[in-house]
Amino acid sequence: MTVRATSRGAQRTSLEGTRAEVLICGASFAGLAVARELAGSGASVLVLDRYEIGERQTSACACPTPWLEALGLGGSIKQELPYMSFTTPSGSARYRLPWSWSSFDYRQLCELLWAQCGDARFETAKVESIGQRRADGSIEVVTDRGTICAPLVVDALGWRRVLSSPHYQPPQAPLSRGLEVHPPHDGSGDALEIWVERSIVRRGYGWRVPAGDEARIGVGSYDPNQHVKEPTVALAARLDSDAVGYQGNWFPHRLRDATENEIFFAGDSAGHCFPLSGEGIRTAFYFGIACGRELRKVVEGRSDRAAALAAYESFNSGHKRPFAIALALQRVIPALPPRLLTAVLAVIGNQRIVDRAFGWYLKQAAPQFADPAQPPNATEQSEERVLAGALR
């Protein structure tokens, strides 16, 4: 029988001595994607999070629509956005994409994804640290409700990478920072809007994402030393919107190792957030699925932990080049003079180039990967070939 109730108050009993075959720490995009891949495997899967599933939204919550459809999450969509617009101090450009973005309801998406996780068990607990390795190979994880152990452990807890050492510490770590507000909206608009203006943020961008009855307006800075509250308030005022419903978080902009000390890392804890765009939702799905498939091989007796760790790390490493390309663009684009940047945006606006460039971008974590028939291999197409073709 599926256990989905969140323990609170008097029900928040000790978990000391609890065992599972797979322990997934973190119940957002990456953690739930891992659990989804283990549904029907027969393994005892325990998912932990400090908050109830879907309780604490930390991202702008827009994702390529093909990913939401591939995962059966279309019911969470609030508004589909087939266009993107880019504004600089010298002009603007508007593109029709070869695919669309969709803003979505975070709680509803998480609940829909959790419903696909079979007989996995969920408990609220704050994961504090990694514990000892036991003689049977199990790994201890220390929480505020006691020590839990499992032979297969996943850290999907976010940029802090709690089960690693040493932890990232902003602002020294390679992290970006973002903040947004959620004013009421009339449902108009068909574009995810981007502002690249140094008057808003020196190295970063501002955004507005229509989401049905609200707009998501925010600012992200690639420089972790630059605070983003004041520019977020200013951008909201510029768009005649109230600065209400604050939400923000750090997010990584550098790929990290996906395994360490026999622990699997997925989502922000492994740097699975694409540089330049700051997009981390579909990459969390993508790498979470890859991790879950390797774990499933182990619990079904088709592999062992060492082989799964090696295969998953190899999969992660196979994506270093596109992440490096995006990081290089993240460093170059904010330094371009506004007129030059505007000219570049105009050139890219040719529909053939738009289709190729944004097609390449989506393929770095393609929605087809959600199909169980797809093997967990890195993107096969050469990034250089695609980018060169886009500029011919």
159 and 196 within one domain:
no
Quote the CA–CA distance of 274 and 325 in Å, as a whole number.
10
Q: Specify the pLDDT at position 381.
A: 43
Q: What is the pLDDT of residue 167?
A: 80
* 304 in the same domain as 187: no
Has residue 193 got a pLDDT over 70? Answer: yes
SS3 at position 131: strand
Is the domain of 240 the same as that of 359?
A: no
324 in the same domain as 380:
yes
Q: Are residues 91 and 119 in the same domain?
A: no
In this predicted structure, what is the pLDDT of residue 370? 97
pLDDT band at residue 10 using 50, 70 and 90 as cut-offs:
low
Overall average pLDDT of the 59-83 stretch? 95
DSSP reduced 3-state for 323? helix
At 312, is the pLDDT very low, low, confident or very high (cuts 50, 70, 90)?
Answer: very high
Quote the domain boundaries for residue 27: 9-56+107-169+253-390
Q: What is the pLDDT of residue 319?
A: 97
Indicate the residue among 213, 234, 252 that finishes a domain: 252
Q: What confidence category does residue 4 fall into, taking pLDDT thresholds of 50, 70 and 90?
A: very low
> From residue 61, how far is each of 16, 54, 100, 110, 352 by CA, in Å?
35, 12, 14, 11, 28
131 assigned to some structural domain: yes
Within this chain, do residues 87 and 234 fall inside the same structural domain, yes or no?
yes
Tens of pLDDT along 340-388?
999 999 999 999 999 999 999 999 999 999 998 765 444 444 444 444 4
Same domain, 146 and 286: yes
| Domain-embedded: residue 35 | yes
**Residue 39 within any structural domain of the chain:** yes
Of 215, 232, 252, which marks where a domain is finished?
252
* DSSP-derived 3-state class of residue 235: helix
* Residue range 328-351, pLDDT digits in tens: 999 999 999 999 999 999 999 999
CATH of the domain at 31: 3.50.50.60
pLDDT in tens, 88-139: 999 999 999 999 999 999 999 999 999 999 999 999 999 999 999 999 999 9
pLDDT given for residue 375 in this prediction: 56
pLDDT attached to residue 60: 78
Residues 165, 263 within the same domain? yes
The backbone torsions φ and ψ at residue 133, rounded to the nearest 5 degrees and listed phi first, read -90, 130
Band of pLDDT at residue 57, cut at 50, 70 and 90: confident
**259 domain-assigned:** yes
According to the model, what pLDDT value does residue 6 have? 52
Domain-embedded: residue 2: no
Mean pLDDT of the chain: 92
Residues 40 and 125 in one domain: yes
Compute the distance between CA of residue 359 and CA of residue 357 in angstroms, rounded to an integer: 5
Among 252, 287, 318, the domain boundary falls at 252
281 and 351 housed in the same domain: yes
> What per-residue confidence (pLDDT) applies to 11?
64
Count of domains in the chain?
Answer: 2
Residue 1 predicted with pLDDT over 50: no
pTM metric for this prediction: 0.92
Domain with residue 234: its CATH number is: 3.30.9.10
Q: 280: closest CA among 269, 290, 289?
A: 269
d(CA 141, CA 148): 5
Phi, psi of 3 (to 5 degrees): -110, 115
Residues 150 and 218 in one domain: no
On whether the CB atoms of residues 251 and 276 are closer than 8 A, the answer is: no
Give the pLDDT of residue 9: 59
- DSSP 3-state helix, strand, coil percentages of the chain (rounded to 5)? 35, 25, 40
